[in-house]
Amino acid sequence: MKTTRRNALSALSAISGWAALGLPLQANAQVPEPVFGTPGKDSGWIPTPNGMVEAMLEMALVTPADLVCDLGSGDGRIPLLAAKRYGARGLGIEYNGDLVKYSDSVAQKEGLADRVKFLQGDIFATDFTQATVVTLFMPPDFNRKIRPMLLAMKPGTRVVAFNFGMDDWQPDDSVYVDAQRGMLWRVPAAVGGDWRLAFDQAAFQKVAQPTLLHIEQKFQKVTGHVVLGGERLVLWDLRYDVDRLRFAVIHQGQRLDFDGRVSGTGLEGSMVAGGQPVSHWKAARSA
């Protein structure tokens, strides 16, 4: 990984920041301190500065309900801090065995070993699908390669990366510490394609049949139209948040507001006209 002098300096100051967080500088006399640039597989070891680690975990709203997995966990600081500060469970996947030993020794010394585990291995051969928060500080090529695996995770999983983004998958949020950037993505549910809508309000069903909902999806961004009673109507005020889809259409001069969620392989929600609930609706994918 190429690092600027500024990154390396922040990272160095981050190492000395361990003591301020109550984590030891010398985890265990038998386990040597990791050395900057220690080789890994897809990158060597350069740590995320501790101030940034905190800011990223805050941005991801980590709670005790989370399993925070750091892909390429280096000296273990991210899963360890997630457990120590936020009560989460932590998982680190790290290729370099010495870094795993060092991380384990800190977990032992800090009394966190029951909640934080480190696995030695290749990220691409290790199952991390149970994680609710995934963190990483890896080069752009790695991010491009891991992206399909992240997008296949449970909708709502938070992905937090330091410094390098996810190509054309734009972040949902960012945080800056010392002019360096941490980014957050929420894994969106797959909603793109054609859906056949059915309303449970008989009168509306009759007017609107057949009803097609067409959605174009690019990551968290969606556009689309519905066909209601033979009329093609553009979706207005379209908002998509992880698995919640909201939009409005103007149908026969009346504004109809739809609010639904992707649930399993279906989509369902409510429809409001002029502020009054009109109908529950469901949608299944068109064959």
Ligand X SMILES: C[S@@+](CC[C@H](N)C(=O)[O-])C[C@H]1O[C@@H](n2cnc3c(N)ncnc32)[C@H](O)[C@@H]1O
Provide the binding-site residues for ligand X, judged by CB under 6 A. Answer: 1, 40-43, 45-48, 70, 72-74, 77-78, 93-96, 99, 122-123, 137-138, 162
Residue closer to ligand X by CB (options 146, 256) is 146
Closest CA to 6 of 141, 166, 179, 174: 179
* DSSP percent split of the chain into helix, strand, coil, nearest 5: 25, 40, 35
Residue closer to ligand X by CB (options 36, 236) is 36
Minimum distance, C-beta of residue 53 to ligand X, in the bound complex (Å)? 7
Residue closer to ligand X by CB (options 100, 262) is 100
**How many other CB atoms are found less than 10 A from the CB of residue 282?**
16
**How many other CB atoms are found less than 10 A from the CB of residue 223?**
15
Minimum distance, C-beta of residue 178 to ligand X, in the bound complex (Å)? 15
Minimum distance, C-beta of residue 200 to ligand X, in the bound complex (Å)? 49
CB 64 within 8 A of CB 88: yes
Residue closer to ligand X by CB (options 84, 215) is 84
Q: Alpha-carbon distance 230 to 79, whole Å?
A: 54
Give the tokens for residue 157. 């999983």
Q: What is the DSSP letter of 95?
A: S
Residue closer to ligand X by CB (options 137, 204) is 137
Minimum distance, C-beta of residue 121 to ligand X, in the bound complex (Å)? 7
Q: How many CA atoms lie within 13 A of 9 on its CB side?
A: 6
Cβ burial 145-175 (10 Å sphere, 16+ → b, else e) = ebbeebbebebebbbbbbbbebeebebbeeb
Give the tokens for residue 213. 């909902």
Minimum distance, C-beta of residue 142 to ligand X, in the bound complex (Å)? 7
Residue closer to ligand X by CB (options 103, 279) is 103
Residue closer to ligand X by CB (options 133, 208) is 133
Q: What is the DSSP letter of 10?
A: H
Minimum distance, C-beta of residue 87 to ligand X, in the bound complex (Å)? 20
CB 166 within 8 A of CB 141: no
Minimum distance, C-beta of residue 150 to ligand X, in the bound complex (Å)? 14
